[in-house]
């Protein structure tokens, strides 16, 4: 039975029992209305759609007693101010990507995605079985937040470039919309990173304010129209082996919720996590075909470029581990988990996937 179906059944059962224990049920299921501010425009039906779906799940699970209204980027606060709005109580919760907030503390990025980090399944396993959730509980409390996984894009693309990238030197002086840690990494190689919200990328690329841009992957990139301006479509997005997004909740508001509502939020968040990843896995393949048909030139980053980026990323991690104890604590948890995960994936997933890919054109 799916989680949301279980919760719907549980909600009906609770409502039905009201005739027997009405006072207790009334206390555990008060009527509440919250606001959720997202970092996404409504045009991105998967990222924005996850917020609407989550709200629907919570309402169904609580017999419509707990309603969460979602607002797109800019409707309450700008896309990159979601953390601030939740932290200071402007809204009860938000949905965002934590690498947007490395200016507050670079540790945030480790919960979302960092260059040469983990893939979606590994990141999920680290959160639930490797101590990641306990670490974000500890860290998030310092920002008056409680945090739950809600959505993952899977491995992303490397972005759209006006010119080809044939060597590390081609990054020098290049202005690129690229957020968080990837911007820091490429900055060491001469690139000029620009932090621009999703809805503002196309105009900046069109006007020549930036020379390149990355967002998510084929499905969302197609919607934003980048192929009309920059034809060179690079892969892989080594800075986002997964794009982990979160529900961020004001800690005081979370602690005030009845346990039933906390469970509804937690289960709905995870069920939505599954939907987002499944949706991207389903819609990206045909979108990539359409983009190539529209003139996109699919190109891999050269090996020496990948190795230079890997070296630059690890230099940053080493420096930060010396100056930021919380970052070091998280990074020391993530690295051995990643190493063991890839040792297993190399045996199982890689062997299977490589064979399947070779056979794909024979059947």
> Mean of the pLDDT values across residues 182-196?
93
What mean pLDDT value characterizes the chain? Answer: 92
What residue segments make up the domains of the chain, in order of their start?
3-155+243-282
The residues, any chain, with a CB within 8 Å of residue 82's CB and separated by 6 or more, are 37, 38, 39, 94, 95, 96, 100, 248
Consecutive H or E run containing 51? helix 47-61
Instruction: Give dist(CA 18, CA 22) in Å, integer.
Output: 4
The pLDDT, as a whole number, for residue 195 is 84
- In tens, the pLDDT along 284-337 reads 999 999 999 999 999 999 999 999 999 999 999 999 999 999 999 999 999 999
- In tens, the pLDDT along 269-283 reads 999 999 999 999 999
Instruction: Give dist(CA 127, CA 88) in Å, integer.
Output: 26
Pairing relationship of beta strands 212-213 and 244-250 according to DSSP bridges: unpaired
Rounded (10°) CA dihedral 12, 247, 310, 205: 110
Asked if pLDDT for residue 157 goes beyond 70, the answer is yes
Going from the C-alpha of 207 to that of each of 164, 199, 200, 202, 257, the distances in angstroms are: 19, 14, 11, 9, 47
The residues, any chain, with a CB within 8 Å of residue 342's CB and separated by 6 or more, are 122
Q: What's the fold here for domain 3-155+243-282?
A: D-Maltodextrin-Binding Protein; domain 2 (3.40.190)
The pLDDT, as a whole number, for residue 23 is 56
């Amino acid at each position: 039975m799916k989680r949301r179906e279980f919760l719907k059944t549980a909600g009906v059962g609770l409502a039905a029992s009201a005739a027997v224990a009405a006072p207790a049920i009334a206390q555990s299921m008060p009527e509440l209305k919250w606001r959720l501010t997202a970092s996404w425009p409504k045009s991105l039906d998967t990222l924005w759609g996850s917020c609407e779906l989550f709200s629907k799940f919570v309402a169904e699970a609580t017999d419509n007693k707990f309603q969460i209204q979602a607002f797109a980027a800019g409707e309450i606060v700008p896309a990159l101010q979601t953390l601030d709005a939740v932290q200071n109580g402007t809204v009860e919760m938000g949905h965002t990507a934590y690498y947007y907030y490395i200016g507050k503390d670079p540790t945030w990025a480790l919960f979302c995605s960092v260059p040469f980090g983990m893939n979606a399944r590994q990141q999920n396993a680290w959160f639930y079985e490797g101590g990641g959730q306990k670490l974000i509980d500890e860290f998030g409390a310092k920002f008056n937040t409680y945090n739950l996984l809600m959505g993952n894009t899977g491995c992303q693309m490397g972005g759209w470039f006006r010119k080809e990238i044939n060597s590390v030197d081609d990054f020098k002086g290049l202005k690129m919309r690229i957020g968080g840690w990837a911007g820091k990494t490429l900055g060491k190689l001469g690139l000029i990173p620009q932090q621009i919200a999703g809805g503002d990328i196309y105009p900046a690329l069109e006007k020549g304010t930036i020379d390149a841009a990355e967002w998510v992957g084929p499905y969302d990139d197609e919607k934003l129209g980048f192929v009309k301006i920059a034809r060179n479509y690079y892969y892989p997005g080594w800075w986002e082996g997964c794009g982990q997004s979160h529900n961020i909740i004001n800690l005081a508001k979370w602690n005030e919720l009845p346990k039933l509502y906390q469970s509804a939020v937690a289960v709905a968040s995870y069920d939505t996590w599954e939907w987002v990843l499944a949706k991207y896995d389903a819609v990206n393949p045909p979108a990539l075909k359409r983009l190539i048909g529209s003139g996109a030139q699919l190109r891999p980053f050269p090996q020496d470029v990948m190795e230079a980026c890997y070296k630059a990323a690890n230099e940053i991690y080493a420096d930060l581990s010396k100056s930021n104890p919380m970052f070091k604590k998280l990074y020391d948890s993530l690295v051995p988990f990643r190493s063991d995960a890839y040792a297993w994936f190399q045996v199982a997933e890689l062997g299977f996937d490589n064979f399947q890919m070779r056979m794909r054109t024979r059947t």
